[in-house]
Structure 1
Amino acid sequence: MEDKVEVFKALGDINRLAILDMLSCGELCACDIMDGLELSQPTISHHMKVLQGVGLVNGVKKGRWMNYTINKEKIEEVQKFITYITNFKEDCICHRFKED
């Protein structure tokens, strides 16, 4: 579950959420993200490193710029996890605290 915590930490930043929103339209160059969010190149690099580090974003170097896409498989994994923890299950942690 620790890997999920790291994903949610990465999502806890307005700029990273905006980057994911931008990438929902398709592959983008770091320069386009930089212009769209009016952030510096080092700031974009930091945010992209965080998003790539938790697997939410894929990056490919093209020339002097990086191009980024959303990692759909990781997004699906996170969606399934949210569904799992927010729905009833026989092995739920809450059963440890209920009296028989």
Structure 2
Amino acid sequence: MRVFKAFCDVNRLQILELLRSGEKCACALLEHLHISQSTLSYHMKILCDSGVVVGRTEGKWTHYSLREEGCAYARQLLEELTDTSAAGTSDNCCG
């Protein structure tokens, strides 16, 4: 469940929030987050591996944006996991 790992960090959630308004250069993300380049790279790898974010290189910088297919997949997973109507009967051992 790489998608959920991507959502389990405050910095990654802030990155996702910044990317909601459109593509951002890594340099812009660094300015907003006040983290090191290596820390940003670590978080971006997790986000890209999850499929929620995509990056493209231009010169020495990478530009990141939300990947619609990955976001749709994350929404679908969350809906399925929280859909109590599809849960079926309870295997309650106590009665």
One-letter amino acid of the counterpart of residue 64, structure 2: Y
TM-score, normalising length from structure 1?
Answer: 0.83
Pair 1:12 & 2:5 matched: no
TM-score, normalising length from structure 2?
Answer: 0.88
Among residues 72, 91, 94, which one is paired with 1:97 in the alignment? Answer: 91
Among residues 34, 39, 61, which one is paired with 2:35 in the alignment? Answer: 39
| Superposed displacement of residue 86, structure 1 | 1.7
Gaps of 5+ in 2: none
Pair 1:55 & 2:31 matched: no
Gaps of 5+ in 1: none
Q: Identity rate of aligned residues, in percent? A: 36
For the aligned residue pairs, the C-alpha RMSD in angstroms reads 1.6
One-letter amino acid of the counterpart of residue 25, structure 1: S
In 1, are the aligned partners of 2:2 and 2:49 still within 8 Å (CA)?
Answer: no
One-letter amino acid of the counterpart of residue 73, structure 1: E
Partners of 1:98 and 1:42 in 2: how far apart? 48
Among residues 19, 25, 46, which one is paired with 1:23 in the alignment? Answer: 19
Q: How many residues align?
A: 92
Where do 4+ consecutive residues of structure 1 move more than 6 Å? none
One-letter amino acid of the counterpart of residue 95, structure 1: T
